[in-house]
Structure 1
Amino acid sequence: MSTRNAIGLDKAQAKQLADKLNELLANYSIFYQNTRGYHWNIKGEKFFELHVKFEELYNDLILKIDEVAERILTLGHTPNHNYSDYRAMSRIQESVEVNNGLKAVENILESFKTTIILQRELLNLSSEADDEGTNALMSDYIREQEKLVWMYSAFLNK
């Protein structure tokens, strides 16, 4: 019996990657739903500016959710799809305060920190497994999100 999956990766390492990608999927899913809540419920002075930025962000997150799920499938495993699983696995918690724009941006920055840390963990795992597909995906996400961290931080004057 072969120890390699359909794309030539070690099956045990592919399983480890898929599990970590499912953790990222859970975090992205909660991050996405929080951002939808901010978009829908934002009030105050910066409404017009933040309403648009939150929509841009959740549209980007939904694409990443799909890409991560498809990467799990490519590795030969099944992406989780239940919100109960996401809530149990996610380091990002569901937001309860969704009206305050400054608080929303602070939560977005914390969510980015969480996802960037997870993606760096995946970058290390994918490098060890010689998994260029996952490696490239994580590298692209990190680069994009580090720039967004800078922009959202500038909005907060940090």
Structure 2
Amino acid sequence: QARVPIGKNITQDEDSVKLIVSSLSELLKIERDILEKSGEANDEGTNSMMSDFITEQEKTIWMMKAWLGETV
């Protein structure tokens, strides 16, 4: 079952950004799980890739929450 929320009939900019933040937040949870497992498996390639994804998505979430006027 999908954990990332699906948006339907979203027409307002604020609702779109909230959906993106929610989706990225769920992806971060999955990626952190992968990061943990790749660390346990000594898989440096996957570990590096997940670290890069997490860094960029955390920054994106921060920027979008700032745009929404939410405290981060």
Q: TM-score, normalised by structure 2?
A: 0.91
For the residue of structure 2 that corresponds to 1:90, the secondary structure is: coil
The 5-angstrom pairing of residues 118-133 of structure 1 reads: 118-133=30-45
Deviation at 1:97, TM superposition (A): 2.8
| Distance in 2 (alpha carbons) for counterparts of 1:149 and 1:121 | 18
Q: What's the counterpart of residue 63 of structure 2?
A: 151
Which of 128, 132, 139 in structure 1 is aligned with 2:51?
139
Identity %: 37
| Distance in 1 (alpha carbons) for counterparts of 2:28 and 2:5 | 16
- Partner amino acid for 1:139? S
- Partner amino acid for 2:45? G
- Partner amino acid for 2:34? L
| Distance in 1 (alpha carbons) for counterparts of 2:33 and 2:20 | 20
Q: What's the counterpart of residue 68 of structure 1?
A: none
| Distance in 1 (alpha carbons) for counterparts of 2:24 and 2:5 | 13
| Distance in 1 (alpha carbons) for counterparts of 2:8 and 2:55 | 29
The aligned length equals 70
Which of 104, 108, 119 in structure 1 is aligned with 2:16?
104
Cα contact 2:21–2:65 (8 A) shared by 1: yes
Unaligned runs of 5+ in 2: none
Deviation at 1:134, TM superposition (A): 0.6
Shift >3 Å, 4+ stretches: none
Which of 27, 33, 39 in structure 2 is aligned with 1:115?
27
State the structure with more CA Rg: 1
| Distance in 1 (alpha carbons) for counterparts of 2:65 and 2:9 | 19
